[in-house]
Chain A
Protein backbone atom coordinates (compact mmCIF):
# COMPACT_ATOMS: atom_id res chain seq x y z
CA UNK A 1 0.00 0.00 0.00
CA UNK A 2 1.36 3.37 -1.02
CA UNK A 3 1.31 6.12 1.59
CA UNK A 4 2.22 9.77 1.26
CA UNK A 5 2.92 12.17 4.10
CA UNK A 6 3.38 15.91 3.73
CA UNK A 7 5.44 17.95 6.17
CA UNK A 8 6.51 21.54 6.55
CA UNK A 9 5.88 24.75 8.48
CA UNK A 10 2.27 25.67 9.02
CA UNK A 11 2.96 29.42 9.00
CA UNK A 12 4.93 31.41 6.44
CA UNK A 13 5.38 35.17 6.29
CA UNK A 14 4.38 37.13 3.20
CA UNK A 15 7.14 37.45 0.57
CA UNK A 16 9.03 34.48 2.03
CA UNK A 17 9.45 30.97 0.61
CA UNK A 18 7.14 28.07 1.41
CA UNK A 19 8.94 24.71 1.56
CA UNK A 20 7.14 21.38 1.85
CA UNK A 21 8.27 17.77 1.72
CA UNK A 22 6.32 14.65 0.78
CA UNK A 23 7.61 11.32 2.04
CA UNK A 24 6.57 8.28 0.02
CA UNK A 25 6.34 4.80 1.53
CA UNK A 26 5.23 1.54 -0.03
CA UNK A 27 6.57 2.48 -3.46
CA UNK A 28 9.73 3.79 -5.05
CA UNK A 29 9.51 7.44 -5.93
CA UNK A 30 11.46 6.61 -9.09
CA UNK A 31 8.68 4.48 -10.50
CA UNK A 32 5.94 7.10 -10.83
CA UNK A 33 5.04 10.69 -11.60
CA UNK A 34 4.09 12.86 -8.64
CA UNK A 35 2.19 16.09 -8.17
CA UNK A 36 1.31 18.79 -5.69
CA UNK A 37 -2.29 20.01 -5.47
CA UNK A 38 -3.69 22.64 -3.14
CA UNK A 39 -7.08 23.66 -1.85
CA UNK A 40 -7.48 27.27 -0.81
CA UNK A 41 -10.11 28.33 1.75
CA UNK A 42 -13.50 28.55 0.12
CA UNK A 43 -12.11 27.47 -3.22
CA UNK A 44 -11.66 24.26 -5.12
CA UNK A 45 -8.60 22.27 -6.02
CA UNK A 46 -5.65 23.70 -7.94
CA UNK A 47 -2.94 21.59 -9.57
CA UNK A 48 0.52 23.02 -8.86
CA UNK A 49 2.81 20.82 -10.92
CA UNK A 50 4.34 17.41 -11.53
CA UNK A 51 7.76 15.86 -11.27
CA UNK A 52 9.44 12.67 -12.40
CA UNK A 53 12.64 11.36 -10.80
CA UNK A 54 14.58 12.23 -13.97
CA UNK A 55 13.94 15.88 -13.19
CA UNK A 56 11.16 16.25 -15.74
CA UNK A 57 8.79 18.88 -14.35
CA UNK A 58 5.82 20.95 -15.41
CA UNK A 59 4.11 23.72 -13.46
CA UNK A 60 0.81 25.52 -13.55
CA UNK A 61 1.32 28.86 -15.32
CA UNK A 62 -0.96 30.46 -12.73
CA UNK A 63 1.96 30.33 -10.28
CA UNK A 64 4.01 32.59 -12.57
CA UNK A 65 7.28 30.75 -12.17
CA UNK A 66 7.27 30.76 -8.36
CA UNK A 67 7.08 26.98 -7.90
CA UNK A 68 9.97 24.51 -7.99
CA UNK A 69 9.69 20.78 -7.36
CA UNK A 70 12.52 18.34 -6.69
CA UNK A 71 13.03 14.67 -5.88
CA UNK A 72 15.42 13.01 -3.44
CA UNK A 73 15.49 9.36 -4.45
CA UNK A 74 17.76 8.37 -1.57
CA UNK A 75 15.11 9.50 0.90
CA UNK A 76 12.11 8.62 -1.30
CA UNK A 77 10.90 12.18 -0.96
CA UNK A 78 9.80 15.01 -3.15
CA UNK A 79 9.71 18.69 -2.28
CA UNK A 80 7.92 21.87 -3.24
CA UNK A 81 9.28 25.39 -2.96
CA UNK A 82 6.99 28.33 -3.58
CA UNK A 83 8.64 31.73 -3.50
CA UNK A 84 7.27 35.20 -2.78
CA UNK A 85 4.15 33.88 -1.08
CA UNK A 86 1.09 36.02 -0.41
CA UNK A 87 -2.14 35.44 1.47
CA UNK A 88 -3.50 33.91 -1.73
CA UNK A 89 -1.13 30.97 -1.18
CA UNK A 90 -2.83 30.06 2.09
CA UNK A 91 -4.16 26.55 1.48
CA UNK A 92 -4.03 22.89 2.33
CA UNK A 93 -1.27 21.38 0.23
CA UNK A 94 -1.48 17.77 -0.91
CA UNK A 95 1.05 15.55 -2.61
CA UNK A 96 -0.37 12.88 -4.87
CA UNK A 97 0.71 10.13 -7.21
CA UNK A 98 -0.08 11.34 -10.69
CA UNK A 99 -1.13 8.00 -12.14
CA UNK A 100 -4.15 5.70 -12.00
CA UNK A 101 -4.03 2.15 -13.33
CA UNK A 102 -1.17 3.04 -15.63
CA UNK A 103 -2.72 6.23 -17.00
CA UNK A 104 -0.99 9.51 -16.32
CA UNK A 105 -2.40 12.67 -14.83
CA UNK A 106 -5.16 11.33 -12.66
CA UNK A 107 -4.44 11.06 -8.96
CA UNK A 108 -5.03 7.71 -7.29
CA UNK A 109 -3.13 8.20 -4.03
CA UNK A 110 -3.02 11.31 -1.88
CA UNK A 111 -1.38 12.43 1.30
CA UNK A 112 -3.52 13.73 4.14
CA UNK A 113 -2.50 17.28 3.37
CA UNK A 114 -0.70 19.97 5.32
CA UNK A 115 -2.25 23.35 6.10
CA UNK A 116 -0.14 26.39 5.32
CA UNK A 117 -1.11 29.89 6.38
CA UNK A 118 0.61 32.95 4.97
CA UNK A 119 0.51 35.72 7.54
CA UNK A 120 2.83 38.14 9.26
Chain B
Protein backbone atom coordinates (compact mmCIF):
# COMPACT_ATOMS: atom_id res chain seq x y z
CA UNK B 1 0.00 0.00 0.00
CA UNK B 2 1.25 3.47 -0.90
CA UNK B 3 1.38 5.78 2.10
CA UNK B 4 0.87 9.49 1.52
CA UNK B 5 2.35 11.80 4.14
CA UNK B 6 1.08 15.36 4.22
CA UNK B 7 2.89 18.24 5.85
CA UNK B 8 2.52 20.34 7.79
CA UNK B 9 -0.41 18.98 9.78
CA UNK B 10 -1.63 22.53 10.40
CA UNK B 11 -0.86 25.77 8.63
CA UNK B 12 -1.86 29.03 10.35
CA UNK B 13 -2.09 31.89 7.88
CA UNK B 14 -3.95 35.14 7.25
CA UNK B 15 -6.21 35.91 4.30
CA UNK B 16 -4.15 37.18 1.39
CA UNK B 17 -1.09 35.13 2.30
CA UNK B 18 0.11 32.23 0.17
CA UNK B 19 0.00 28.62 1.32
CA UNK B 20 2.27 25.72 0.38
CA UNK B 21 1.09 22.21 1.22
CA UNK B 22 3.20 19.12 0.74
CA UNK B 23 2.32 15.50 -0.02
CA UNK B 24 4.99 12.81 -0.12
CA UNK B 25 4.39 9.30 -1.43
CA UNK B 26 6.13 6.21 -0.04
CA UNK B 27 6.97 5.17 -3.62
CA UNK B 28 6.72 6.72 -7.04
CA UNK B 29 3.17 7.41 -8.23
CA UNK B 30 4.13 9.24 -11.43
CA UNK B 31 1.63 12.12 -11.65
CA UNK B 32 -1.38 10.18 -10.41
CA UNK B 33 -2.17 12.52 -7.55
CA UNK B 34 -5.28 14.51 -6.74
CA UNK B 35 -5.99 17.21 -4.18
CA UNK B 36 -9.28 17.78 -2.36
CA UNK B 37 -10.61 20.44 -0.03
CA UNK B 38 -13.05 19.60 2.75
CA UNK B 39 -14.92 22.04 4.96
CA UNK B 40 -16.70 21.01 8.19
CA UNK B 41 -19.97 19.24 7.50
CA UNK B 42 -19.35 19.13 3.76
CA UNK B 43 -18.17 16.53 1.31
CA UNK B 44 -14.65 16.70 -0.09
CA UNK B 45 -14.33 18.72 -3.29
CA UNK B 46 -11.90 17.85 -6.05
CA UNK B 47 -9.45 20.68 -6.74
CA UNK B 48 -6.61 19.21 -8.77
CA UNK B 49 -6.05 15.87 -10.53
CA UNK B 50 -3.04 14.35 -12.24
CA UNK B 51 -0.85 16.53 -10.02
CA UNK B 52 -1.42 19.81 -11.84
CA UNK B 53 -4.72 19.85 -13.76
CA UNK B 54 -7.39 22.02 -12.19
CA UNK B 55 -10.81 20.44 -11.92
CA UNK B 56 -13.77 22.27 -13.38
CA UNK B 57 -14.55 25.28 -11.22
CA UNK B 58 -11.23 25.37 -9.36
CA UNK B 59 -9.99 28.97 -9.11
CA UNK B 60 -6.60 29.65 -10.68
CA UNK B 61 -5.14 30.69 -7.32
CA UNK B 62 -4.84 26.92 -6.72
CA UNK B 63 -1.92 25.23 -8.46
CA UNK B 64 -0.44 21.77 -8.16
CA UNK B 65 3.02 20.53 -9.02
CA UNK B 66 5.30 17.55 -8.62
CA UNK B 67 5.79 14.03 -9.86
CA UNK B 68 7.25 10.79 -8.57
CA UNK B 69 7.09 11.04 -4.79
CA UNK B 70 6.95 14.76 -3.97
CA UNK B 71 3.96 16.98 -4.64
CA UNK B 72 2.92 20.49 -3.72
CA UNK B 73 -0.38 22.35 -3.64
CA UNK B 74 0.03 26.12 -3.67
CA UNK B 75 -2.68 28.64 -2.92
CA UNK B 76 -1.41 31.98 -4.15
CA UNK B 77 -3.57 34.31 -2.04
CA UNK B 78 -5.86 32.81 0.57
CA UNK B 79 -9.51 33.72 0.42
CA UNK B 80 -11.77 33.26 3.49
CA UNK B 81 -13.40 30.23 1.87
CA UNK B 82 -10.03 28.48 1.49
CA UNK B 83 -9.61 27.78 5.21
CA UNK B 84 -10.33 24.06 5.38
CA UNK B 85 -8.71 20.64 5.41
CA UNK B 86 -6.81 19.54 2.30
CA UNK B 87 -6.21 15.93 1.32
CA UNK B 88 -4.05 14.37 -1.34
CA UNK B 89 -5.01 11.04 -2.97
CA UNK B 90 -3.11 8.64 -5.22
CA UNK B 91 -4.56 6.50 -7.98
CA UNK B 92 -1.32 4.87 -9.08
CA UNK B 93 -1.90 1.50 -7.42
CA UNK B 94 -4.38 -0.40 -5.32
CA UNK B 95 -5.69 0.32 -2.84
CA UNK B 96 -6.44 3.96 -3.51
CA UNK B 97 -5.09 5.92 -0.55
CA UNK B 98 -5.43 9.39 0.89
CA UNK B 99 -3.04 11.46 2.93
CA UNK B 100 -3.80 12.36 6.53
CA UNK B 101 -4.71 15.93 5.65
CA UNK B 102 -3.41 19.45 6.22
CA UNK B 103 -5.59 21.93 8.05
CA UNK B 104 -5.28 25.51 6.82
CA UNK B 105 -6.55 27.70 9.63
CA UNK B 106 -6.94 31.41 10.11
CA UNK B 107 -4.11 32.93 12.07
A interface residues (Cβ-Cβ under 8 A, vs B): 35, 37, 43-47, 58, 60-62, 94, 96, 100-101, 103-108, 110-113
Contacts and interface: CB of A to CB of B under 8 A. Distances in A.
A103 B44 CA distance: 18
Q: Which 8 A-B pairs have the closest CB atoms?
A: A105-B91, A110-B43, A45-B98, A47-B96, A106-B34, A60-B95, A106-B49, A44-B100
B71 interface: no
B91 A104 contact: yes
B44 A44 contact: no
A111 B96 CA distance: 19
Given A94-B44, A112-B43, A47 B49 contact: no
Contacts, number: 65
B61 interface: no
Interface of B: 1, 32, 34, 36, 42-46, 49-50, 53, 55-56, 87, 89, 91, 94-101
A95 to B, nearest CB: 10
Contact of A61 (B56, B95, B100): B95
Contact of A45 (B44, B53, B91): B44
Given A58-B94, A105-B96, A44 B46 contact: no
A46 B95 CA distance: 10
Contacts of A37: 44
Contacts of A62: 95
Contacts of A108: 46, 49, 55-56
Contacts of B87: 44-45
Nearest to A62: B95
